Structure 1
Amino acid sequence: MRDLPVIGITLDSEEPGGYSKFPWYALRQNYCSAVVAAGGLPLPLPHEPSLAADYLDRIHGLIVTGGAFDVDPALFGAATRHETVVVKKARTQFELAMIQGALKRDMPILGICGGQQLLNVALGGTLIQHIPDEVVECLAHEQPNPRDQAGHDAVLVPGTRLADIAQSLRIPVNSAHHQAVKDVAPGCVVNARAEDGVIEGIEHPGHKFCIGVQWHPEFTISDADSRLYRAFIKACHA
């Protein structure tokens, strides 16, 4: 039997329509194939907050995925909700339970896109609710070209774990978001920014592996994306 670390991957959820006339889960295949390529065993996680501890007992690392929805601004103390914000309460409740449990266990966590945003909120940070309203002359963070192509560059911060993993201080990334980290959570540091100043990555040096990136490394836009997955899986072995 091969010693493959089990990697829990959070699913998206959809209302009836399209694939099924009943509520259904969704996950792009490349979230799983990227884990396999890096040496892990992917395990998608249904949204059952009461089972979070049981899931955590069986996995070695957690990937919190993105999706076409937003973190509820009430979770980071905002008094208003931007008109563009769409929430998925049940999904967020489950993912928060998983993140909080993984942090307590010092289990490796990789937050991707919305997963990075929720990780920042779970640790005590806040979010920009709609980038075009808060960032002057912002880049097209919801890129018009396909997601398997680069949308802009991310400039990595020297001395951070992400920069060490990527072995580069500038990498091309894809971009599919209208929100971003605003106030960085206590204990976390910024490890990447876009050239318009938008935070593209965070990490918590106090944990074994706790990294969030705003782009989607499962598309492997650059070698840095593959290195990130391999570093995450390596941490799950430790």
Structure 2
Amino acid sequence: MNTAAWLAYGSRHLPWRRRPVAAAVRTVACWSAVTRLQARGHLLWAAQLIAEAQRAAQGVLDDPDRSFATVPETLDITLPPQVRDAGPGPEQLTVALRQAHRDAGRLATAPPRIIRRTLRRLAADPTEAETTFDRVCNDVRGADLGTADLTHLYLGGLRWDAATQWPDAWRDRIRAASDPVDGIHQIRDHLHTASRWHGGTTRTPTPSLRSTVHLRAEITGSDRMRPSEPNTTIPTLGATPPPDVTPAPAAFAFWWTP
């Protein structure tokens, strides 16, 4: 390896050039399509919170007069057990987020050069992870989902192609609910469905924060996402709730809207 190659290699591995969050998400991308689909709602929730942290770091970079306090607050992220137990990668992502949270907490006492370097890294790492998150959560092209249980899962926004194998009972419904996009198919987002039903219960949605997939999530006891309006739509693709359901406490709930 010549001198230029060594310098290029070293620069990528300097602390402020590392992308541990993006690396962890690439590990999650190795999950099977069925596992990713089963954990999709929780993965999108995690992606949304990481995107909020990226916007907070970028906001301070763009406006130096803005308070640093929002950056460590948005990086205080705990992955739900549905993600932690699904496969390799979540532990790596947890470690990366904890380190980012610690780094952000030191901004108030750091010299200006370190502040800008840290903020650039805290903004660049989630940005790099975003593309992989999109593939992890939305791309099932060529996947064998023939044995997957799609009941209670939200399918809106999924990209699939002729090689994707769906369960026999779902194939026609999915085709009818999809539009051609750039030579592939994408399931329309306007279909409302609950991703989970706990013993015949439904949930209250929260304001949409994700502009592309429109994730709605409620985190019990958290001020970061709060319910704002009742749901009146009966799901049309996925689970159908039983009649006369009543809300029940749950740690996580997901709703999707156009």
TM-score, scaled relative to structure 1: 0.27
Q: Which structure would you say has the larger Rg?
A: 2
TM-score, scaled relative to structure 2: 0.25
Q: Which structure carries more helix by proportion?
A: 2
